[in-house]
Amino acid sequence: MTRQPAEFRHENLLRELTPQVLGAVIRRFGDFGAAEDAVQEALLAATQQWPKEGLPENPRGWLIHVAARRMTDHLRAEAARRRRETEVASDPSREPRVVPSIGLPSLASLVTNAGAARTLRDTEPDDTLILLFMCCHPALSPSSAVALTLRAVGGLTTAEIARAFLVPESTMAQRISRAKQSIRTSGVPFSMPTREERSDRLASVLHVLYLIFNEGYTSSFGTRLQRTELSGEAIRLTRATHALVPDESEVAGLLALMLLTDARRAARTGPDGELIPLDKQDRSLWDQASIAEGVELISRTLSKGAVGPYQLQAAIAAVHDEAQRSEDTDWPQILALYALLTRMSDNPMVALNHAIAVGMVHGPRAGLDRLKALDADDRVAGHYRIAAVRAHLLERAGEYEAAIEHYRMAAERTTSIPERDYLTSQAARLAAGETANDE
Amino acid sequence: MKFMLMMNAPRGNGEWGVSSWTPDDLKNHIAFMKTFTGDLASRGELVAAEGLAAPGQAKLVRAGKDRRPITDGIFPESKEFLAGYWIVDVDSPDRAYEIAAGASAAPGKGGEPLYMPIEVREVMSAPPVEV
């Protein structure tokens, strides 16, 4: 069941309507899992019929109508199946019998129970948000939540999601089906989380959106393009979430962080997919429109108060993006932001970046001193990133032999191919006696 | 995160040599592997799984000076050979180890667990970090 985005010009409209249509169908029939399948079938029908018959006058109503019809068929088949099972069980000859598929008394109650008072055209602006809360529920594993969100809220097909994550379609289908099963068994209602739950649940949503964005940053040979689309999809979903809850400052912060990071996409890899670090990037390739939008958004958000980690990371990204040249970077400002971030979250990766900023402002020795504390932290001791940062600081301190050793150590430990290649080349460059191209 | 789980089996008639198994032992082992891999698939974790042909058919290949293949039989002194592998996509290394332990305990002679060593290697697929 693959739709073809490139050839189908209504793809964006469909993807935007997906959560609204799904929300309407769930409100009418309940059963998130079956409703989600019915909506996918309606999306497929649209890609087949709209190019031939033209865009319907009310695309959303059309989709809801088709999905509701599929849902009715599904419920009818389920009722028939249940009845058949009962009859077979009670029939001593155990001969399967054909049961008429219409006019079952149980059907009417099934169909009308869930939302008799509503018409199918009703969609609620909050449906997209409720769906996000459901799909990113903490009962789901991160990979399940990511897959389900992309399908149920993002409107991607299982085949598209499988391609993006480089797993077989059948595996992705099972992952999504299990995720739906978890939602069913955990009994998450289709409604907004309570006031008490809200901030934790919103944090889960933001984490899942962040994971989707980050996945898009993995580059593997021949698949970079599809994965890049994941970052675009994460931005689209975060933008939609921000539009629904403009006062949630961390949602705005995450959107700004994504925009400001994604702005550097064209500059961050070379022609062969090799990694180019921030200080060596061709800044003329940065997307100025994304930077302007991200900077405006984070400035406006920070001025409102209630600062959180995503906002601070966005602010740091903004400082980088606003520097015309690497040497213009306002490192004291970045250092101050990391100091705030370190106080807010006990994340060793934040502490690591803090050490980099210390090294830029107070010199490599001060940065190396900072790193020592991390060696004692079980969560990251031996992590390749510590070795990579240490190598860089040692090189700046003129300790080339030790720097080579740590670059190599980091290269052995990373699980990212572009990063391994980058670190290996750094070690090779130093070993060949080239030391001047750093500062 | 993706991991490759490599099942290394000893050659010939070593302690797990299948030549000493009864038909039922074989049947149980095959059924176990089928269920095991099927379970990974139904959990949405299976990326790929293959069993490899016996090492008697294996060749070592090198390019000659003219770049044409020079083949050689596999060397008989190697004690273990790769019998098969799984690639799984899981949320944590611990889950990969748990799966490996499951495979390691596959039933062998008399239905006793084989406790095979399973080599677990992470597939390089992590996103690079922007510095």
What average pLDDT does the segment B95-105 reach? 97
Q: Are B42 and B86 in contact (CB under 8 A)?
A: no
**Subunit contact B131:A217, Cβ cutoff 8 A:** no
Structural domains present in chain B: 2-122 (3.30.70.1060)
Nearest to B91 among A141, A174, A275 (CB): A141
Task: Quote ipTM for the complex.
Answer: 0.81
Angle at A225 between CA A220 and CA A231, to 5 degrees: 95
pLDDT attached to residue A105: 35
**Reduced to 3 states, what is the DSSP secondary structure of residue A393?**
helix
Chain B contacts of A331, Cβ < 8 Å?
none
pLDDT attached to residue A99: 41
| DSSP letters for A229-244 | HHHHHHHHHHHHHHHH
pLDDT attached to residue A324: 94
**Reduced to 3 states, what is the DSSP secondary structure of residue B8?**
strand
Tell me the three-class secondary structure of B43-95, residue by residue. CCCEEEEEECCCHHHCEEEEECCCCCEEEEECCCCCCEEEEEEEEEECCCHHH
**Subunit contact A143:B91, Cβ cutoff 8 A:** yes
**Subunit contact B124:A385, Cβ cutoff 8 A:** no
Residue B125 at interface with chain A, using a CB cutoff of 8 Å = yes
Q: Which of B39, B89, B90, B98 to substitute to test the interface with A, most A CBs within 10 Å? A: B89
Say how far apart CA B120 and CA B107 lie, in whole Å: 20
Structure tokens at B66: 């003219």
Residues of chain A with pLDDT under 50: 1, 5-6, 96-121, 220-223, 436, 438-439
Residues comprising chain A, all counted: 439
Q: Taking Cα atoms as reference points, which of A268, A271, A290 lies closest to residue A281? A: A268
Q: Are A34 and A70 in contact (CB under 8 A)?
A: no
Q: How far is CA A317 from CA A20, A94, A288, A410, in A?
A: 33, 69, 13, 24
pLDDT attached to residue A117: 36
Q: Are A234 and A164 in contact (CB under 8 A)?
A: no
Q: Alpha-carbon torsion B57, B60, B61, B65, what sign?
A: negative
Count of Cβ atoms closer than 10 Å to residue A189 Cβ? 10
Query: Which residue from B minimizes the CA distance to A275?
Result: B128
Helix (H) or strand (E) run with residue A226 in it: helix A224-244
Provide the terminal-to-terminal Cα distance of chain B, rounded to the nearest Å.
22
Structure tokens at A14: 């469909």
pLDDT attached to residue A373: 87
Residues 6+ apart with CB under 8 A from A170: B41
pLDDT attached to residue A218: 58
Q: Taking Cα atoms as reference points, which of A366, A343, A362, A341 lies closest to residue A353? A: A341
Q: Are A421 and A274 in contact (CB under 8 A)?
A: yes
Structural domains present in chain A: 5-113 (no CATH), 125-187+196-245 (no CATH), 264-329 (no CATH), 338-439 (1.25.40)
Does the pLDDT at position B97 exceed 90?
yes
pLDDT, tens only, B12-31: 655 567 778 899 999 999 99
Say how far apart CA A26 and CA A124 lie, in whole Å: 11
Nearest to A418 among B1, B128, B131 (CB): B128
Query: Which residue from A minimizes the CA distance to B123?
Result: A415
Does the pLDDT at position B76 exceed 70?
no
Burial class for A122, CB neighbours closer than 10 Å (0-12, 13-18, 19+): middle
**Subunit contact A143:B125, Cβ cutoff 8 A:** no
